[in-house]
Each structure stands twice: as structure tokens, then as C-alpha cells.
Amino acid sequence: MFKIEIRSDDGREAQISPGNFLYYKEENGKEHFFDWKHFTGRDQEFVRIFETARSILGSIESLLSDLSPSTL
């Protein structure tokens, strides 16, 4: 399962698992939980989020593979 977790210095937090759930915590600590059914019809918007996350992972993997063990 692919899951995105983001935590901000200001206290905001998001956790997204496609087809499953979305959790969002506001800066003031208020929490929101949503089942995926709440986003029916907005699939493409979330597809872009997951494509971006996969791209970021690929960039990190590429960067790490370029580092020699002595620099880690």
C-alpha cells in the first residue's frame, strides 16, 4: 500500500492512503478523518498528488545511489 505522510513545522499534518483514507490535522491541532468515498469524482486531483510523491521518491533514490558509502 502506498501512503503519504507529511508533517509541517507549524503542526499541520496529512496522511493519505489511496482508496482508503485521508487524515488532516490543522495548525491548531484540530483533526479531520475522511473515508475515500468522500472524494468520489475528484480522483484525478489525488492521482496528481500520488504521481508527485512517487517522483519525489525516485529523486531521493537517485540522489542516494549517487552517493558513495563514505559520504553517508
Query: What pLDDT was estimated at residue 22?
Result: 93
Domain residue spans of the chain: 4-66
pTM of the model: 0.75
pLDDT 10s digits, 17-52:
988 899 999 999 999 999 988 888 888 888 899 999
Rounded-to-integer distance, Cα 67 and Cα 51, Å = 25
Q: Is 11 exposed, middle or buried (0-12, 13-18, 19+ CB in 10 A)?
A: exposed
